[in-house]
Amino acid sequence: MSGVVSRTLRASPHRDAGQTWNAIVSLLTQGRTGASRDELQAIAGIAISVIADQAAKVAPIVVTCDGPRTRIYTLHDDAAIEGDDANEETLSFDPLKGEWALSLPCHADDLPWVQVALAEKSTRVTARDQSIGIALESTSVESNTQALTLDVAEFLKP
């Protein structure tokens, strides 16, 4: 199974950053307990800081696994209150299946401390500059595995 699935969760002021992270963890773990949930909960303070800074409003939290790639955006301010653009539906697949990884978008000024703090708590969770995008691997069997860079700002232009 390949592809990309997106979800957009309502954050502040509908939920505080901690409640938003808990909603993201529940979405990704599908309510299950275990090592994956524990690892996501271990980085909660860092993720909450990133959510409070509204980094996932600009660039998604990206989760890769043995299935589709999952992008998670957050809504803030009036958009979070109205909720018209929210999509908080459960996922029809396990977004943490196999060798999963999660990449948090982060403001450039905060990136050094966030990366160090994450490295102390997880090998699967990393941070990236929200303005740069994320490298994508080609999944084509016929191609050489080449890294692509997603320009999030260009991608989100109307």
Residue in the structure block whose two tokens are 């995008």: 133
**Residues 89-102, mean pLDDT to the nearest whole number:** 95
State the average pLDDT for the chain: 87
Q: State the pLDDT at residue 156.
A: 61
Q: State the pLDDT at residue 149.
A: 55
Per-residue pLDDT tens digits for 113-134: 999 999 999 999 999 999 886 6
Q: State the pLDDT at residue 132.
A: 82
Between CA 35 and CA 40 the distance in angstroms is 9
Per-residue pLDDT tens digits for 6-26: 999 999 999 999 999 999 999
Residues 6+ apart with CB under 8 A from 40: 24, 25, 28, 29, 47, 102, 125
Buried b (16+ CB within 10 A) or exposed e, 104-124: bbbbeebbeebbebbeeebeb
Whether the pTM exceeds 0.85: the reply is no
Q: What ranges make up the beta strands (E) of 37-131?
A: 61-64, 69-75, 101-106, 125-129
Residue in the structure block whose two tokens are 């505080």: 16
Between 30 and 138, the higher pLDDT residue: 30
Between CA 68 and CA 19 the distance in angstroms is 25
From 24-38, 98-112, 142-156, the region with the lowest mean pLDDT: 142-156
Q: Check: CB of residue 87 under 8 Å from CB of residue 117.
A: no
Where are the chain's structural domains?
Answer: 4-131
